[in-house]
């Protein structure tokens, strides 16, 4: 029988403050699963209008699915968060785009009517579980020349991107990185970051008990001179440094997604409506170019052009990959539509969690800019992929809900 798809909306997103990975980081002795459980509990607390039994799925991403990030963390997090035992859950791994994939996967389930409400998110404790820990890449990947050896090092893929696009100079990357730090600092000063954060209790054998309330990675006041002297660890006299790329971080994110009808019937807010999404594969050696074809595909699916996008939340794994995106679409390095609150170079990139951070910030920016109808969240993905999701702003004058106030089809 013919089936009508249901519109999917983003109700709310939250995250823990992001920490620096390692023994001195704020989450050094905090469990990864506890980070994401804290996010889910906060979502439920913020939305008492949502009965717990109405949450029909929990999808949580982690890149390294071992230890306290293993054991089907979506199901474990659901149980530990106080959701009914009847609420199922599962785990997702698409490396950096884990949380983004968790969102699009449960959104697809909502769209076809399998479920009405779900929670999606991601967690990465890179201090406890370094990227690649415990994996055993098949040697044929390199031996049979499916990829170059450099494809297995994300930093090297960023250097390869510099080689392919010589106009993406280190100077441009450093300037973009400084701007990211400055924009994040300004957003903090204006109180724009704090509403997305959940406080997280911490324990450290040397520092004792603590409470994480703000992000640990930012380095406000960073200058071009500071970045100019940093080492290039992936290549002698290279271009990629710790200053113009995201660091190693710990943190978690989560969000509520629902059918537009369920959101209206339950009285939940609509912060964004999903328009289209796309994931693509690219040459693993230049992994960072992935958001370009992913965005082109998502735009084509939506019947939109790049000029229709009024706000961009692009994950800053490396400055060079963001600049490659901007150059391709003819967007200036300092375009105010791009990462208005700063990005991962400043705030951090706990791999599988970052996609929901992008979405949560875009939702805030939509509320500030009712003149913008469409926004984009996009990111590059390890082993040569890209992901992009296009969202519609419910505050725009041309936004038309698909249901009435009771949740019935309009």
Concerning whether 96 is annotated as a catalytic residue, the answer is yes
Concerning whether 255 is annotated as a catalytic residue, the answer is no
Which residues in 342-366 are b (16+ Cβ under 10 Å) and which e? bbbbbbbbbbbbbbbbbbbbbbbbb
Gap between the Cα atoms of 278 and 233, Å rounded: 33
Helix (H) or strand (E) holding 279: strand 272-281
Given 173, 255, 349, 369, which residue is catalytic?
349
Given 129, 204, 380, 395, which residue is catalytic?
380
Tell me the C-alpha to C-alpha distance, in Å, between residue 328 and each of 160, 291, 299, 313, 320. Answer: 17, 10, 14, 16, 12
Gap between the Cα atoms of 201 and 265, Å rounded: 35
First to last CA, the chain: 22
Please give the structure tokens belonging to residue 212: 């994480």
Concerning whether 380 is annotated as a catalytic residue, the answer is yes
Report DSSP letters for 307-365, one per residue: GGEEEEEE--SBHHHHHHHHHHTT--TT-TTB-TT--HHHH---GGGHHHHHHHHHHHH
Q: Which of 260, 261, 263, 262 is nearest to 274 (CA)?
A: 260
Given 39, 96, 173, 255, which residue is catalytic?
96
Report DSSP letters for 232-248, one per residue: -TTSTT-S--SSSB---
Active site residue ranges:
96, 349, 380
């Amino acid at each position: 029988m013919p089936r009508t798809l249901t519109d999917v909306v983003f109700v709310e997103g939250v995250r823990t403050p992001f920490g620096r990975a390692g023994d001195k980081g704020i989450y050094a002795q905090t469990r990864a699963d506890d980070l994401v459980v804290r996010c889910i509990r906060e979502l439920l607390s913020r939305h008492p209008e949502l009965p717990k039994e109405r949450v029909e799925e929990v999808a949580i991403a982690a890149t390294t699915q071992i230890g306290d990030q293993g054991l089907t963390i979506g199901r474990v997090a659901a149980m530990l968060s106080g959701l009914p035992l009847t609420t199922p859950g599962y785990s997702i791994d698409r490396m950096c785009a884990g949380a983004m994939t968790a969102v699009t996967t449960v959104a697809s389930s909502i769209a076809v009517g399998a479920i009405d409400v779900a929670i999606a998110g991601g967690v990465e404790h890179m201090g406890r579980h370094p990227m690649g820990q415990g994996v055993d890449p098949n040697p044929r990947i390199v031996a049979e020349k499916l990829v170059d050896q450099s494809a297995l090092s994300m930093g090297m893929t960023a250097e390869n991107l510099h080689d392919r696009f010589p106009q993406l100079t280190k100077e441009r990357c450093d300037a973009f990185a400084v701007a990211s730090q400055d924009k994040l600092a300004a957003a903090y000063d204006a109180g724009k970051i704090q509403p997305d954060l959940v406080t997280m209790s911490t324990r450290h054998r040397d520092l004792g008990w603590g409470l994480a309330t703000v992000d640990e990675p930012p380095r406000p006041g960073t200058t071009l001179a500071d970045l100019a002297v940093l080492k290039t660890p992936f290549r002698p006299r290279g271009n990629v440094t710790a200053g113009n790329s995201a660091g190693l971080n710990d943190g978690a994110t989560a969000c509520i997604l629902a059918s537009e009808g369920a959101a209206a019937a339950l009285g939940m807010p609509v912060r964004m409506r999903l328009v289209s999404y796309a994931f693509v594969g690219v040459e693993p050696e230049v992994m960072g170019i992935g958001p370009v074809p992913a965005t082109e595909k998502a735009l084509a699916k939506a019947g939109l052009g790049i000029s229709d996008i009024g706000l961009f939340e692009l994950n800053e794994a490396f400055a060079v990959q963001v600049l490659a995106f901007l150059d391709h679409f003819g967007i200036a390095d300092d375009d105010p539509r791009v990462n208005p609150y700063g990005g991962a170079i400043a705030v951090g990139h706990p791999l599988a969690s970052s996609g929901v951070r992008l979405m949560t910030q875009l939702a805030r920016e939509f509320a500030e800019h009712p003149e913008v109808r469409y926004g984009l969240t996009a990111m590059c993905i390890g082993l040569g992929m890209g992901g992009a999701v296009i969202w519609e702003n419910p505050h725009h004058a041309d936004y038309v809900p698909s249901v009435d106030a009771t949740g019935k089809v309009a």
